[in-house]
Structure 1
Amino acid sequence: MNLLLDSHIVLWWFSNDERLTPNARRLIEQADEVFVSAATTWELAVKTSLGRLRMPEGFLEVVVEQGFSHLPITEVHALAVQSLPWYHRDPFDRILLAQAIVEGLGLLSMDKAMAPYGKFVMGY
């Protein structure tokens, strides 16, 4: 199985945060390929510029060092957002979900607001 990581999962993985459950760790470790979206990089950069968090130094390189792959946002991903029900209004989470659906990835998130999207979201 291939996974796409929600932004908080990426940060928790990098910092070895205890909020990342053993099951979530196992999913990441056993995945065939793990992706970090350009949307995650964008979201973390925005929140860093607002002083709400501190992005890991050399974030793009750290993603690769951890064995993860970068996933760009394409026009197909952007258009897929329009067909999503409005269970969740966060634009970053909506593009991640669209990417997961288009690319056939499991989206690993601990955000319970993502639960209504069903089989594409795991970890909550």
Structure 2
Amino acid sequence: LGIEEATLEPGEMPAGKVFYKLEPITLNLNAKGQTARFLQIGLTLVLVTDKDVPKIEAMLPRITDYSVSYLRELAPEELEGSANFHRLRENLLLRIRAAAAPVPVADVLLINVFVQ
């Protein structure tokens, strides 16, 4: 009929259609003996279908743990500049996908990022 099915490469995620907002995370950054610095970050997960929402909600403790474990080790200077924000987003996505498996997470969006 002239209609082609989209095929995905191994490890590639289908386009997300559902946005799931996580509770904001506030934590201390790794200041390495300097004045304490804090990070507050808001994340939204992009899910493939709305059927994944209850599954993601069941895994929220693990998703939060994986995210906080990574974020807590960041130094304040690792949150400066657009290249570092891209790296932050990619690293969070890897950890969130691992925590949420087997539920596919298409993307993670950085909604609010405050460093104090």
After TM superposition, the score normalised by the length of structure 2 is 0.27
Q: Determine which structure has greater relative contact order: mean sequence separation of CA pairs < 8 Å that are 6+ residues apart, divided by chain length.
A: 2
Output the TM-score relative to the length of structure 1: 0.26
More strand per residue: 2
Larger radius of gyration: 2
